[in-house]
């Protein structure tokens, strides 16, 4: 029975895969936060337009203006957080792929060695069968 391929760095590959999944989850959360912040900003802008059409109360407009500025700051923070999460995800994906490539190269070398070993065994068996 031929030995099975065993990748010595499989625990590392598994860890890198888990890290990538965590980074993907964090990225998805940041994207949802960004989408929520954009939606809130749109809702606030629509409310401001409706309020401005009904009245020209300076106090109300100042409150809306401050709220819009706060939403804009939050949206900018969320965009930066999303960009950071995207970079972390890309780095985690790159790390995992590097280990996968190493595993594939080692598997290929293992398979070549097994094929060479089998060929030698066949040659030896054939050599023993031939009469001198």
Q: Is residue 46 situated within a structural domain? A: yes
Q: Is residue 5 situated within a structural domain? A: no
pLDDT at 63: 76
Q: Is residue 98 situated within a structural domain? A: yes
Query: Average pLDDT in the 72-76 region?
Result: 86
DSSP string, 39-87: HHHHHHHHHHHHHHHH---HHHHHHHHHHHHHHHHHHHHHHHHHHHHHH
Encode pLDDT of 50-73 as tens digits: 776 677 666 667 777 787 788 888
Chain mean pLDDT for the chain: 87
User: Domain of 119?
Assistant: 10-129
Q: Is residue 28 situated within a structural domain? A: yes
pLDDT of 90 strictly over 70: yes
Look up the pTM and report it: 0.68
Q: Is residue 1 situated within a structural domain? A: no
| Total number of domains constituting the chain | 1
Query: Average pLDDT in the 83-103 region?
Result: 95
User: Lowest mean pLDDT: which of 32-46, 85-99, 102-116?
Assistant: 32-46
Q: Is residue 4 situated within a structural domain? A: no
pLDDT at 132: 61
Rounded to whole angstroms, the Cα distance separating 99 from 110 reads 16
Query: Average pLDDT in the 92-104 region?
Result: 96
Q: What is the CATH number of the domain that holds 113?
A: 1.10.287
């Amino acid at each position: 029975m031929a030995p099975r391929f065993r990748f010595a760095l499989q625990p590392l590959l598994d860890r890198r895969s888990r890290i990538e999944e965590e980074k993907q989850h964090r990225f998805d959360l940041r994207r949802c936060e960004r989408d929520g912040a954009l939606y809130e900003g749109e809702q606030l802008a629509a409310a401001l337009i409706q309020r401005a059409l009904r009245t020209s109360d300076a106090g109300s407009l100042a409150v809306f203006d401050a709220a819009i500025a706060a939403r804009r700051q939050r949206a900018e923070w969320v965009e930066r957080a999303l960009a950071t999460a995207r970079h972390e995800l890309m780095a985690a994906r790159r790390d995992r792929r590097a280990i996968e490539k190493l595993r594939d190269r080692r598997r290929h070398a293992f398979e070549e060695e097994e094929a060479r070993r089998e060929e030698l065994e066949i040659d030896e068996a054939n050599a023993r069968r031939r009469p001198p």
